[in-house]
């Protein structure tokens, strides 16, 4: 594709070529069809984990913050 330093500008021809390459790449990805139907087996679903295991995985303070309804959630998370 386009191989120039980041601070270099493209010529009009380079920009058009780059745009055509990106459009072709997107068209290839957009028209992908899945031939087979995907099914999920309930045998593969793991059983519920205990509260102690949740605390271990997320950290005790994160668990306590999740349980405490007065905690304000971050907008960006």
Instruction: Please give the mean pLDDT across all residues of the chain.
Output: 79
The answer to whether 2 touches 14, Cβ cutoff 8 Å, is yes
User: What tens digit of pLDDT does each residue of 29-57 get?
Assistant: 887 676 677 777 777 777 888 888 888 88
pLDDT at 1 over 60: no
The pTM (predicted TM-score) of the whole model is: 0.34
Domain ranges in the chain are: 12-67
Tell me, what's the pLDDT at 54? 87
State how far the Cα of 44 lies from the Cα of 73, in Å rounded to an integer: 32
Q: Contacts by 51-60 with C-beta closer than 8 Å and gap 24+?
A: none
């Amino acid at each position: 594709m386009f191989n120039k330093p980041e601070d270099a500008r493209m010529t009009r021809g380079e920009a058009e070529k780059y745009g055509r390459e990106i459009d072709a790449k997107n068209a290839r990805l957009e028209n992908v069809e899945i031939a087979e139907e995907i099914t999920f087996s309930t045998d593969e679903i793991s059983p519920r984990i205990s509260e102690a295991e949740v605390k271990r995985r997320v950290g005790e303070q994160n668990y306590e913050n999740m349980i405490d309804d007065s905690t304000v959630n971050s907008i960006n998370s």
